[in-house]
C-alpha cells in the first residue's frame, strides 16, 4: 500500500509539544538528573491521532542537538531532552500496534557548528572557512560533494529505517544538489524499496527537482500560500490559479499538502476560526498527501514572530492527555473527523484530477475526479460571503459534508 496514496499525517514538533527546554540548556544539570523520557508522553496521543482519522506520525527533529533540533550533534541518538533510543523503540512499537507509520525529520543540509565531524564534512567558502547556513553562526553547511557526507546520510537513514520508521522528511532539501539525493536514496532503496522521501521545497522548479532528485514528493508551498491568502483577502481567483498549478504537479508526482507547519503562522491565526474550516476542507479534498499540524484540528493559534523566539508560539506544549484539551476545540475536531472520513471513503482522491468549475472573488467550486473512473467524483463548493460555508457533494448529488458559519452582523 502506497504511503503517498493512503497516509494522512499528524505532524508534531516534539521538543515543543512535549515541553522540553529549547534554549539556554544546562547540560551539566541535565546529565545529573534522571532522563525525562518525554518521548513517552506521546503514548496517549496515538489513540487521539487514530480517532482523528490519521495513520501517520510526522515528527520534527528528535536527534541530539544544541537547541531547536535543527542544529544536530548526533544523528544516531535521541535528544536527551526527549528520552533515549529505547524510548524511541517503545514509540515505534506502540505506533505499529495501531497501524501508524512514522516519518522522521532528517536535517542533512547542515549540522551544529559544534558537531564532532564538522571539520571533516563542512562546506568551505573561498577562504577555506566553514560556511554557515543563511548566516546562522551555530549552523554549518555540509559539503554534499564529499563521499563521507553521502555515506553518513545513507547510514543514518538506514539506521532509523531498520528501527522501524517508514520514511524521511528532508529539511531544506531544495538547497542540496538533487544528484546527492538521487544517489543516497538509490542506496537506501536497495534495502528499503518502499521508504518514503519527502523533501522540503519552498521555491524553485518543484517538478524538475522531484524528477532529478528521485524524491517521492515535496512540500506544496504554492498551494499553502494560495489557501490562506484567498480566504484572508476574499480572492478565490488566487486559489483557482494555484489549483491549476497543483493539477499540473499532480500529473508528475503527488505533492505533500498542508495549511500549517512548524515554520509558518497557524492557519487559525491567519484566517480566523471559521476561515480555518474552509482551509481544512480544501486541504482534505484536493489531491496530494496531506499533513495536519498538531493542534490545528483544535483551533490552536500561534504567530510567526522575529528573533530567537520567532517560532515559540508555533510549537506549543500539548497537555498531558487529550481529555485535557480545552472544550472549545471539540467542534473543529469533529469537522476534521468528518472531512478525513470523506477522504478515507474516496481513497482515490490522493491522485484525483482537480478542476475548478465556477469562481468569483467570494466563491469557488471545484471537482476532484477518480482518474480510473470518471463517473466518480466529489464536488466542493466554498463561500466567503455572505457567510463562510462549505458544501461537499458526491457524484450522485448526495451531501457528504455541509457547514456554515455565522451570518455577518449588519
Nearest-Å Rg of the Cα atoms of the chain is 21
> Looking at residue 135, what is its pLDDT?
79
Contacts of 117 (CB under 8 A, 6+ apart): 111, 152
DSSP per-residue letters across 152-193: HHHHHHHHHHHTT--EEEETTGGGS-HHHHHHHHHHHHTT-T
> Looking at residue 1, what is its pLDDT?
54
Residues 210-216, mean pLDDT to the nearest whole number:
98
Q: What are the structural domains, with CATH classification, of the chain?
A: 3-351 (3.20.20.80)
Percent of the chain surpassing pLDDT 90: 91
Q: What is the pLDDT of residues 343-362, one digit of tens each?
A: 999 999 999 999 999 999 99
Q: What Cα–Cα distance (Å) separates residue 247 from each residue in 76, 272, 368?
A: 39, 27, 10
Q: What is the pLDDT of residues 264-311, one digit of tens each?
A: 999 999 999 999 999 999 999 999 999 999 999 999 999 999 887 889
The better pLDDT of the pair 406, 364 is held by 364
Q: What is the pLDDT of residues 8-49, one digit of tens each?
A: 999 999 999 999 999 877 777 787 888 899 999 999 999 999
Please calculate the CA angle 93-321-54 and round it to the nearest 5 degrees: 55
> Looking at residue 410, what is its pLDDT?
42
Q: Reduced to 3 DSSP states, what percent helix, strand and coil does the chain have, rounded to the nearest 5? A: 40, 25, 35
Percent of the chain surpassing pLDDT 70: 99
Q: What is the pLDDT of residues 152-163, one digit of tens each?
A: 999 999 999 999
Query: What is the average pLDDT value for the chain, to the nearest integer?
Result: 96
Q: Assess contact for 138 and 112: CB atoms under 8 A.
A: yes
Residues 377-389, mean pLDDT to the nearest whole number:
97
Contacts of 69 (CB under 8 A, 6+ apart): 13, 14, 15, 60, 61, 62, 63, 79, 105, 107
Q: Is the pLDDT of residue 409 over 70?
A: no
Distance CA 273, CA 18 (A): 25
Amino acid at each position: 500500500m502506497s504511503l503517498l496514496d493512503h497516509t494522512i499525517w499528524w505532524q508534531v514538533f516534539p521538543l515543543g509539544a512535549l515541553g522540553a527546554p529549547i534554549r539556554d540548556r544546562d547540560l551539566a544539570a541535565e546529565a545529573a538528573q534522571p532522563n525525562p523520557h518525554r518521548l513517552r508522553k506521546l503514548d496517549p496521543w496515538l489513540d487521539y491521532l487514530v480517532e482523528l482519522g490519521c495513520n501517520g506520525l510526522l515528527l520534527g527533529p528528535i536527534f541530539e542537538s544544541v537547541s531547536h533540533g535543527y542544529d544536530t550533534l548526533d544523528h544516531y541518538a535521541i535528544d536527551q531532552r526527549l528520552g533515549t533510543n529505547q524510548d524511541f523503540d517503545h514509540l515505534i512499537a506502540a505506533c505499529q500496534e495501531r497501524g501508524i507509520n512514522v516519518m522522521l525529520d532528517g536535517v542533512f543540509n547542515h549540522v551544529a557548528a559544534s558537531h564532532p565531524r564538522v571539520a571533516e564534512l563542512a562546506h568551505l567558502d573561498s577562504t577555506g572557512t566553514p560556511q554557515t547556513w543563511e548566516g546562522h553562526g551555530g549552523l554549518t553547511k555540509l559539503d554534499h560533494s564529499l563521499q563521507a557526507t553521502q555515506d553518513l546520510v545513507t547510514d543514518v537513514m538506514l539506521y532509523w529505517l531498520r528501527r522501524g520508521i517508514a520514511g524521511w522528511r528532508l529539511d531544506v532539501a531544495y538547497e542540496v544538489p538533487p544528484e546527492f539525493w538521487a544517489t543516497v536514496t538509490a542506496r537506501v532503496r536497495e534495502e528499503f524499496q518502499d521508504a518514503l522521501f519527502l523533501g522540503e521545497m519552498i521555491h524553485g522548479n518543484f517538478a524538475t527537482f522531484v524528477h532529478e532528485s528521485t524524491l517521492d514528493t515535496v512540500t506544496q508551498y504554492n498551494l499553502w500560500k494560495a489557501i490562506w491568502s484567498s480566504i484572508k483577502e476574499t480572492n478565490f481567483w488566487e486559489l483557482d490559479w494555484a489549483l491549476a498549478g497543483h493539477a499540473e504537479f499532480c500529473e508528475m508526482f503527488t505533492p505533500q499538502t498542508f495549511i500549517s507547519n512548524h515554520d509558518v503562522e497557524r492557519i487559525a491565526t491567519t484566517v480566523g476560526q471559521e476561515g480555518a474550516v474552509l482551509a481544512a476542507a480544501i486541504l482534505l479534498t484536493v489531491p496530494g498527501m496531506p499533513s495536519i499540524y498538531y493542534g490545528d484540528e483544535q483551533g490552536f493559534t500561534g504567530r510567526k514572530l522575529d528573533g530567537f523566539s520567532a517560532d515559540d508560539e508555533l510549537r506549543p506544549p500539548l497537555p498531558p492527555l487529550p481529555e485535557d484539551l480545552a472544550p472549545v476545540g471539540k467542534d473543529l475536531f469533529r469537522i476534521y473527523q468528518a472531512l478525513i472520513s470523506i477522504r478515507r471513503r474516496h481513497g482515490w482522491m490522493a491522485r484525483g484530477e482537480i478542476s475548478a468549475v465556477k469562481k468569483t472573488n467570494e466563491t469557488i467550486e471545484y471537482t476532484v475526479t477518480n482518474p480510473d473512473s470518471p463517473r466518480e467524483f466529489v464536488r466542493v463548493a466554498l463561500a466567503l460571503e455572505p457567510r463562510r460555508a462549505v458544501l461537499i457533494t458526491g457524484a450522485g448529488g448526495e451531501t457528504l459534508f455541509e457547514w456554515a458559519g455565522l451570518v455577518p452582523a449588519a
